[in-house]
Amino acid sequence: MTDKIAFIGLGNMGGPMAVNLHKAGFAVTATDLSPAARAKVADEGVAVVATAAEALTGATVVISMLPASRHVEGLYLGDGLGATGSNPGLLATLPAGIRIIDCSTIAPASARKVAAAAEARGLSMIDAPVSGGTAGAAAGTLTFMVGGADACVEAARPFLQAMGRNIFHAGASGAGQVAKVCNNMLLAIHMIGSAEALNLGVNNGLDATVLSEIMKQSSGDNWSLQKYNPMPGVMDAVPASRGYSGGFGSDLMLKDLGLAEEAALASGSAIPLGGLARNLYAAHSAGGSGGLDFSSIIQLLRKREA
């Protein structure tokens, strides 16, 4: 028997992910609330339908890629009004044996809540948020950080491999979300830290490229310096060298830092640098730069040219 995938959510990330599953030979029926989003993947040969219910007909796997916790809870749990509600949620209707893979980046607590509800109905669900951005989604080189039972993660591996390159099993349900939140918080911290160090060096007479090389070969080394230098002119082909367009938007980083805060609040954890990073991105966004790549945070620190 061949697997049949219902893919729900065809945005900037979900669209190319559905296309890569299709190209890998899987039977995919995709859907999104937006007709334009559906049309885009239909152009690549993917079968599209207008509703989740249609997509689910005969499906053995559901993959969802939605913007935030409330969309994922709404899709699977419904509107929370119970038996009297107008939307009972997918979990109430999914057939036994179907596998659920949620690739959205959402709060760990939300992921655990939905997974527990799925398990209560005998369904298998994993959280599998991604990193790698729209470029990684298009190239099929995403990294998946996965939470769920061993068997469920192994069963999902063929689908994930069609969309990405690295698949990390972080732990039980919600662990994929926790790993992503921790990783992205750390990324934000060393991106801002790298921006501070480069700006401090330049303000004290150093050349940004020379200083970057020194720190990359010393104990200041980090991914932001290696792959994504925030100072214009140091690296080609990064957002800093094209006016901070493209890349990973500041507002998306702000969202992920908000999830880190929620996880810190839920567990009583102290994250002084992570919390400050969120507030700096919030100020950056309030200043109108939320649509720029997240390395543009250096502009909050630097003297603006007239």
Residues 216-255 that bind its own copies (CB under 8 A): 217-224, 226-228, 254
Q: Which of 297, 142, 136 is nearest to 224 (CA)?
A: 297
199: contact with its own copies by CB under 8 A: yes
Taking CB under 8 A as the binding criterion, the range among 4-12, 13-21, 44-52, 82-90 that sits at the site for its own copies is 82-90
What's the distance, Cα to Cα, between the start and end of the chain in Å? 66
| Ranges within 26-65 binding its own copies (CB under 8 A) | none
CA dihedral sign of residues 60, 96, 48, 40: negative
We find the least distance from the C-beta atom of residue 281 to its own copies, in angstroms, to be 8
Strand 124-127, strand 47-49: pairing: unpaired
172: contact with its own copies by CB under 8 A: yes
For its own copies, the binding residue among 31, 69, 183, 295 (CB under 8 A) is: 183
The CA-based angle 74-96-116, given to 5 degrees, is: 45
For its own copies, the binding residue among 82, 122, 150, 237 (CB under 8 A) is: 82
| Ranges within 145-164 binding its own copies (CB under 8 A) | 145
- How far is the C-alpha of 222 from the C-alpha of 220, rounded, in Å? 6
We find the least distance from the C-beta atom of residue 55 to its own copies, in angstroms, to be 26
Are the CB atoms for 67 and 61 separated by under 8 Å?
no
- How far is the C-alpha of 253 from the C-alpha of 286, rounded, in Å? 14
We find the least distance from the C-beta atom of residue 288 to its own copies, in angstroms, to be 6
265: contact with its own copies by CB under 8 A: yes
Q: Which residue of the set 23, 180, 255, 303 is catalytic?
A: 180
For its own copies, the binding residue among 69, 131, 250, 295 (CB under 8 A) is: 131
Q: In which residue are the tokens 């061993």 written?
A: 150
192: contact with its own copies by CB under 8 A: yes
Q: In which residue are the tokens 């104990």 written?
A: 219
Taking CB under 8 A as the binding criterion, the range among 10-18, 41-49, 66-74, 177-185 that sits at the site for its own copies is 177-185
Are the CB atoms for 66 and 55 separated by under 8 Å?
no
193-197 contacts, C-beta under 8 A, 24 or more apart: 193/222, 193/224, 194/220, 194/222, 194/224, 194/225, 194/229, 194/230, 195/230, 195/231, 195/295, 195/297, 195/298, 195/301, 196/301
| CB nearer its own copies, residue 134 or residue 143 | 143
Is 255 one of the annotated active-site residues of the chain?
Answer: no
For its own copies, the binding residue among 193, 209, 241, 246 (CB under 8 A) is: 193
166: contact with its own copies by CB under 8 A: yes
Taking CB under 8 A as the binding criterion, the range among 8-16, 35-43, 64-72, 211-219 that sits at the site for its own copies is 211-219
268: contact with its own copies by CB under 8 A: yes
- How far is the C-alpha of 112 from the C-alpha of 225, rounded, in Å? 34
> Active-site residues: which are they?
180
